[in-house]
Amino acid sequence: MSVPGDTKQRVAAKLTAIQIGVALLFGVLAVGFWYLQVVQHARFEELAENNHQRRLALRAPRGVLYDRNGRVLVENRESFSISIVREHSRDLERTIALLARVLGLEAAHVRELVDRHRREPAYQPIVVVDDASLAQVAAVTARRLDFELPDVVVERVPARRYPTESLAAHLFGYVGEATDVLAGLASGAIVGQSGVEKAYNRDLMGTDGAKLVVVNSVGREMRTLDEVPPVGGKRLQLTIDFDVQKAVEDAFKASGFNGAAVFLEPSSGEVLAFASVPGYDPNAFASGINRATWSALNGDQMKPLQNRAIQGRYSPGSTFKMAVALAALEEGVVTPEQTVHCSGGANFYGRVFKCWKKGGHGSVDLRHAIEDSCDVYFYTVGNMLGVDRINKWATLLGLGVRSGIDLPNEVQGLVPSTEWKREKLKEKWYAGETISVSIGQGQVSVTPISLAVYMATLANGGTRVTPHVVRAVDDGTGWRPLPAPAPQSVATLNPEKLQAIRDGLWMVVNGGGTGKRARIEGKDVAGKTGTAQVISNEGRLAARSTRDLHDHGWFSFFAPRDNPQIAGVVFLEHGYHSANAASVAHHALDTFFAKKDGRPLPPPPTREDLRLDLSDPMDRRVPAAAPVAGQQAGRVPPAVAVSARAD
């Protein structure tokens, strides 16, 4: 038993021990805070900043496209995109399920989208819906305010607005998410995928801006710390004339045919109208095309995604005859006045080649040979020339080569030569093959754009201009005209000889020729029709008519004859007769000249206005040439069925 005093002392000692213990404990706490707040401060400061600061991309609007008269063609509209930012996710699965329900999407689809971007940094928004409807935006916003979707953001982004009714769709092209990771492009960046949008993507894209914002724990923006505004893309003025473009497409629509048309200014190569029918609605791509639409477009038998004007290769038919005529004149094989006798056919290398006109044309000179499209005349001069000299002049005029137009994925046509055949087919050229080439058949193929350049070269006297669709650019400091690209080649042509060809072309339209539908009073339209056979007559007889087997129709032209302001081509796929192509061209030319003269523009044509000829050409077609037995020297390959039409 201890005495009270002793107890009192022991209590005091215990209390002192407790005081020291507490002081030590607080000392440890202070050291702990010192370690966190002073030693490790930098690390935690960065973590705190990452917590509440967000760098948001501000998408730059793409440059606006204007027509040559300053009319807006393609502009931007405001759209809303809905994205998931995984960095803010508390429960990603729940977000996906809830968001899918709110937006009316399949959860599996959303999950797949998120998975696709899994390897990207978590702060990068994953776009779930581009161009969301107002109902979707409202639904998501309401949930966000309830803190249910802290990891979902709704952003305003500019989206492309294209003209309605897919006007000039193939010219403008479309935009979409960048698929290959190009240097300096953020994932999800919108880039041009075809047409002008692709060719001029660098100019049109602009530079995205950024915004540094403070967000709270549910991701709501509280204030802006720093903002670098986006720099919009450069504005481009196209060479297109909206009214002519619309006239071409109106006429196509009235005709009901597919095809292509290119109208050029022959002096400069500026493209006044550029159409490929059927088109597609670029608006469907403007903010992420859905898979169903994409596969529908891809699987469509009409091939709406093919840009026929620069990617379609077709037999030029009689439109090729001017190349042969020019070659013959320039090479001195014939003079314009020399005549050839046509009795309805002629024998070359043991085979009879028929003229489209059964009774023959009698004696024809160059002008009338063009006007009447006399096959025998061109068989004859073509035979005198040989295929290589035809190739040389056709190339100088722009056929069989790329035009160099400032649009992506142009393909090349073909004008055969002995060298070509030796290299590609490892075979010798047979002189008999030249005969079919002389009337634009055989292996000859052209793209509509190259045929338009060819007409422009004939119109301007030998300068193979480079077609182009952009004439001026504005980077925000005012319009700056772009110099026209250098011509692909310049040939010095004898004006008098060229005039004979032009006269012949004038007579096609204004005389007794096949192009009279394109005639415009006082405008001296010069042109040439052409038919490209899709199937041999025998095949056609066997297959019996389906629409796909009808001939293609061409009408190539320039006007006025002596001072050409416009040149080009209209191509009707399975258009029955080339006269129908002349009808389509007529409406566009009429519009062009009406605008030039300040007359009221003609109203869009009806199907009746076009006076389409839908009779079956088979009834008038001559049977295929029959080989003459025993003569092998100029053997014609059986694949090349030769026939001719009233072109």
Q: Would you name the residues annotated as active-site residues?
A: 318
Residue entry with tokens 């052409």:
530
CB of 193 to another protein, least distance (A): 38
33 lies in the binding site for another protein (CB under 8 A): yes
If 0-12 CB within 10 Å is exposed, 13-18 middle and 19+ buried, where does residue 269 land?
buried
If 0-12 CB within 10 Å is exposed, 13-18 middle and 19+ buried, where does residue 87 land?
middle
Applying CB under 8 A, the site for another protein has a residue count of: 42
Angle between helices 448-460 and 321-330 (to 10 degrees): 40
Residue entry with tokens 């803010």:
88
Q: Which is nearer to another protein, 38 or 626 (CB)?
A: 38
Cα dihedral 176, 303, 312, 260, rounded to 10, equals -90
State the pairing for strand pair 489-490/526-532: unpaired
Q: Which stretch binds another protein (CB under 8 A): 133-141, 208-216, 366-374, 548-556?
A: 208-216
72 lies in the binding site for another protein (CB under 8 A): no
CA angle 555/560/561 to nearest 5° reads 80
32 lies in the binding site for another protein (CB under 8 A): yes
134 lies in the binding site for another protein (CB under 8 A): no
Cα dihedral 471, 474, 475, 477, rounded to 10, equals 140
122 lies in the binding site for another protein (CB under 8 A): no
CB of 187 to another protein, least distance (A): 24
Q: Which is nearer to another protein, 4 or 299 (CB)?
A: 4
Q: Which stretch binds another protein (CB under 8 A): 5-13, 172-180, 285-293, 604-612?
A: 5-13
Cα dihedral 634, 639, 644, 647, rounded to 10, equals -120
Q: Which is nearer to another protein, 32 or 603 (CB)?
A: 32
DSSP 400-426: TS----SSS-----B---HHHIIIII-
DSSP 364-394: E-HHHHHHHT-HHHHHHHHHHH-HHHHHHHH
CB of 184 to another protein, least distance (A): 32
The only residue of 73, 139, 159, 214 in contact with another protein, by rule CB under 8 A:
214
Output the CA–CA distances (angstroms, integers) from residue 382 to 294, 353, 368, 394, in the order listed: 47, 13, 16, 12
Q: Which is nearer to another protein, 25 or 486 (CB)?
A: 25
Q: Which is nearer to another protein, 9 or 412 (CB)?
A: 9
Q: Which is nearer to another protein, 7 or 207 (CB)?
A: 7
The only residue of 69, 133, 207, 216 in contact with another protein, by rule CB under 8 A:
216
The only residue of 9, 48, 142, 596 in contact with another protein, by rule CB under 8 A:
48
37 lies in the binding site for another protein (CB under 8 A): yes
Token representation of residue 32: 């702990």
476 lies in the binding site for another protein (CB under 8 A): no
**DSSP code of 316?**
-
| Residue list 148-207, contact with another protein (CB under 8 A) | none
The only residue of 36, 72, 212, 425 in contact with another protein, by rule CB under 8 A:
36
The only residue of 113, 185, 189, 218 in contact with another protein, by rule CB under 8 A:
218
Distance from chain centroid for Cα 339: 45
**DSSP code of 481?**
E
Binding mask 278-317 for another protein (x = CB under 8 A): ----------------------------------------
473 lies in the binding site for another protein (CB under 8 A): no
Amino acid at 310: I
70 lies in the binding site for another protein (CB under 8 A): no
217 lies in the binding site for another protein (CB under 8 A): yes
- Positions touching another protein (CB under 8 A) are 1-2, 4, 7, 10-12, 14-15, 18-19, 22-23, 25-26, 29-30, 32-34, 36-38, 40-41, 43-45, 47-49, 51-52, 89-91, 214-218, 222
